Structure 1
Amino acid sequence: MFKFDFPVFDADNHLYETADAFTRHLPERHRNLFRFVEIKGRKKLVVRDTITEFIPNPTFDVVARPGAHMAFYSGDNPDGKTLRELTGKPIRPLAAFREPAPRLALLDEQGIAKTLMFPTLASLIEERLRDDPYLTQVAIRAFNEWLYDEWKYDYEGRIFATPIVNPCVLDEGIAELDRVVERGARAVLMRPGPVGGLRGLRSPFLPDFDPFWARVRESGIVVALHASDSGFQEYVNTWEGSEGSEYVAFRPKTFPEVIDGGRVIHDTFASAVCHGMLTRFPEVKLLSVENGGSWVGPLLHDLDRAYKKMPQEFPEHPRDIFTRNVWVNPFWEDSTLGLVDLVGVDRVCFGSDYPHPEGLADPLSWREELGGLPEASTKKIMSDNLFDLMGLSPAA
Structure 2
Amino acid sequence: MTPPLTVHGVPVIDIDSHYTEPPDLWTSRAPASYKERVPRVILDEEGRNRWVVDGDVDFGPMGFTVVKKDGEKAYGMMSLTDFDEMSDAASYPEPRLELLDRLGISQQIIYPNVAGFGSHRFMSLEDSELRNICSRVYNDAIIELQEAGNGRLFPQALTPFWDMDECVREIRRVTDAGITGITMTDTPEAFELPHLHDPHWDPLWSTCQELG
> Cα distance, 1:169 vs. partner?
0.9
1:139 and 2:134 matched: yes
> Structure 2: how far apart are the matches of 1:91 and 1:133?
32
1:210 and 2:210 matched: no
Matched ranges for 1:377-396 at <5 A: none
> Structure 1: how far apart are the matches of 2:68 and 2:154?
23
**Number of the residue aligned with 2:42:** 37
Matched ranges for 1:1-40 at <5 A: 4-5=7-8, 6-33=10-37, 34-40=39-45
Matched ranges for 1:1-396 at <5 A: 4-5=7-8, 6-33=10-37, 34-40=39-45, 41-52=47-58, 54=60, 56-57=61-62, 63=68, 67-69=73-75, 92-123=85-116, 126-130=120-124, 131-149=126-144, 151-152=145-146, 155-194=149-188, 200-220=192-212
> Is 2:64–2:113's contact at 8 Å kept on the other side of the alignment?
no
> Cα distance, 1:181 vs. partner?
0.3
> Identity of counterpart residues, as a percentage?
25
Counterpart residue identity of residue 45, structure 1: W
> Cα distance, 1:187 vs. partner?
1.7
Cα distance change of structure 1 residues 154 and 179 upon mapping to structure 2, 3 Å threshold: farther
> Structure 2: how far apart are the matches of 1:2 and 1:154?
22
> Structure 1: how far apart are the matches of 2:174 and 2:195?
23
After superposition, the C-alpha distances for 1:304-335 in whole angstroms (9 at most, x for unaligned) are xxxxxxxxxxxxxxxxxxxxxxxxxxxxxxxx
> Structure 1: how far apart are the matches of 2:95 and 2:19?
12
More helix by share: 1
> Structure 2: how far apart are the matches of 1:44 and 1:114?
30
> Structure 2: how far apart are the matches of 1:94 and 1:45?
18
Counterpart residue identity of residue 162, structure 2: C
| Runs (5+) with no aligned partner, structure 2 | none
> Structure 2: how far apart are the matches of 1:194 and 1:59?
23
> Cα distance, 1:172 vs. partner?
0.8
> Structure 2: how far apart are the matches of 1:39 and 1:93?
18
> Cα distance, 1:59 vs. partner?
11
> Cα distance, 1:53 vs. partner?
5.3
TM-score, normalised by the number of residues in structure 2: 0.76
> Cα distance, 1:160 vs. partner?
0.7
> Structure 1: how far apart are the matches of 2:180 and 2:50?
33
Cα distance change of structure 1 residues 50 and 144 upon mapping to structure 2, 3 Å threshold: same
> Structure 1: how far apart are the matches of 2:62 and 2:185?
22
**Number of the residue aligned with 1:256:** none
> Is 1:43–1:59's contact at 8 Å kept on the other side of the alignment?
no
> Is 2:93–2:148's contact at 8 Å kept on the other side of the alignment?
no
Counterpart residue identity of residue 49, structure 2: K
| Runs (5+) with no aligned partner, structure 1 | 74-82, 221-396
After superposition, the C-alpha distances for 1:98-126 in whole angstroms (9 at most, x for unaligned) are 22233222212211111102232232853
TM-score, normalised by the number of residues in structure 1: 0.44
After superposition, the C-alpha distances for 1:174-198 in whole angstroms (9 at most, x for unaligned) are 110001000111122223321787x
What do you get for the CA RMSD once the two structures are aligned? 3.4
Counterpart residue identity of residue 101, structure 1: E
Counterpart residue identity of residue 215, structure 1: T
How many residues were matched structurally? Answer: 200
> Cα distance, 1:2 vs. partner?
8.3
Cα distance change of structure 1 residues 141 and 48 upon mapping to structure 2, 3 Å threshold: same
> Structure 1: how far apart are the matches of 2:138 and 2:114?
11
> Structure 2: how far apart are the matches of 1:128 and 1:182?
24
> Structure 2: how far apart are the matches of 1:37 and 1:115?
30
Question: Secondary structure at 2:115's aligned position in 1?
Answer: helix
> Structure 2: how far apart are the matches of 1:134 and 1:178?
18
- List 4+ stretches of structure 1 deviating above 4 A: 62-67
